[in-house]
Structures are given as C-alpha cells and as structure tokens.
Amino acid sequence: MIRRLAWVFIALAALLLMACAHAAYTNRSQLLLISEGQEMALGLQSAQDVLKKEKESTDELQVERVKRVGRRIAFAANKPEYKWEFHVIDKDVVNAFCLPGGKVFFYTGILNLTTTNDELAAVMGHEVAHALLRHGGERMSVALMAQLGGSAASLALGSTVSPAASQAFNQAYGMGAQVGVLLPHSRSQESEADEVGMILAAKAGYEPSGALSLWRKMDAYAKSKGQNVPGFLSTHPTTTDRIAAIQAKMGAVRAKYYQQAELR
C-alpha cells in the first residue's frame, strides 16, 4: 500500500513538473495541465456557440472601431497562431471577454462607456491579456485536479480535446450554464491582466492613461447601479487599489512601450 502511494506521489509530481509554465511578461509560475492547442479548440467551439445565440451589432461604425483597435492590440500581442476575431454583441451589458485563441466579444453596453479609443484599448488589452496569459487554462487545470486527480488529469494533456478538458472548460468558464456569461477571474489574475493589458495597449500606440479614465468611469457606473455591479467588475480589485496600481506602473509602461510604439 505504501509503495503504491509512493508511485502515485511520484507520478503526480512528474505531472506537475511537466505542467509548470511561466506567464508572459510577468514570468509568474503557472500550473497548466492542458495544451494551448486544446484551449484554442475549446475557445473556437464556445465562440461559435455564442454567435449562434447572441445577436451581433449592425452598427458598422461601432463594429469597425472595435476591429480596428483589436487588430492593433492583436499585433502587439504577437500571437500569429491565434485566429483573431472581434465581435460586437447588440446587448446593453457592460462586459467584454476574450476566449482562448483570440475570440473577442464586446457588448454594446461597455462601448457606451469607452468614449475614447484609449479607453477601448484598455478594455481590449485587459481581455486579450487574459487569453495571452492563459488564465483560462489555469482555471481549467484547477478544475481537472479537483475533479479527476493527478493520474486522470494526465489524460487531459495532449494535442486533442479530451472529454475531461471539455468538461473543465465549461466548469472554468461557466459556458455550459449560460452562453456568453463567463465566470469571473480571480483577483490576482485580474491584477495581472490590468498590468499586461496596459502594456499591450501601449505597445499598440494607445495612451496608457486610458486605463485610469476607464476604471473611474466603471466605478461611477457601478455606484450608480447600487448593488448591481456589472460582471466586468466582479472580483476585481477595489477601484482605489486598481487605480493606485495602474498609476504606480504607468510611468514605466509609457517609457518602455508607448514612447517606442511602432503603430503611433
């Protein structure tokens, strides 16, 4: 029995070692039990589900604005293997998200608040950062470990989409319950996406201070709704902490990325 447990421990340790990765830009250690190819395939499948059930905006100016900013952020992200798509959903919801593989969705409600392209780039950069940093993959890995254990989680590794990975994706994103409504990321992931999102926006030639005006507007909107805080703000750091963190990093981001941006 002891020998058996020892082998299980060794196998689990080997799996965790194989799954060790580091986040882009921040170099934070990550646990990733599935391949990026699996994430991309699952993201494409979920994007197709969203488009089947949600109505896309017919406002050509609004759609083109999102695509134009999105293309610049995508170029800055330097992930040519992602099949980038930018969609605007005609619904008065203050939300946006990016599925693995670069499938980006903006709701018209959030576009009404992002009146400048710098603010729009702040949202776009933030959401693209979640995908670039593979935050969804981390959440899926946690779900796999909790549900299946180390030995079963190893079956999820590989280039093909396994049933276990599909189930973990639905659980991590909440896509199986309600299309287009994603579960919130953790506060640490949100803070990381704030930082990397600001870098991506700056690299794309957008003023990093757009993040400040954006979150001030978001805070005012949330307060105007009382307890009805928009999903985009769920589990995010408090506005005071967020703005302080952005201000603390903005000078370095502007000097390193914005002033040297090729797309300005």
Q: What is the sign, positive or negative, of the torsion defined by CA atoms of 149, 154, 155, 161?
A: positive
CA–CA gap between residue 99 and residue 105 (Å, rounded) = 8
pLDDT at 11: 40
Cα–Cα–Cα angle for 135, 25, 201, nearest 5°? 85
CA-CA-CA-CA torsion for 5, 7, 11, 14, nearest 10 degrees?
A: 110
pLDDT at 58: 97
Partners of 85 in the β-ladder: 103
Q: How many CB atoms lie within 10 A of CB 20?
A: 11
Buried b (16+ CB within 10 A) or exposed e, 112-125: ebbeebbbbbbbbb
Per-residue pLDDT of the chain (264 residues; tens, 9 = 90+): 555 444 334 344 434 444 567 777 888 888 888 888 988 998 899 999 999 999 999 999 999 999 999 999 999 999 999 999 999 999 998 899 999 999 999 999 999 999 999 999 999 999 999 999 999 888 888 777 766 665 445 555 555 566 666 666 565 665 544 444 455 567 788 889 999 999 999 999 999 999 999 988 888 887 787 754 555 555 555 677 888 888 899 899 988 888 666 545
pLDDT at 10: 37
CA–CA gap between residue 92 and residue 107 (Å, rounded) = 7
237-244's contacts with Cβ under 8 Å and 24+ in sequence apart are 237/187, 237/190, 237/191, 237/194, 239/215, 242/191, 242/194, 242/215, 243/212, 243/215, 243/216
pLDDT at 136: 85
Domain extent listing, the chain: 18-258
Sort strands 103-107 and 85-89 into parallel, antiparallel or unpaired.
parallel
DSSP state of 5: H
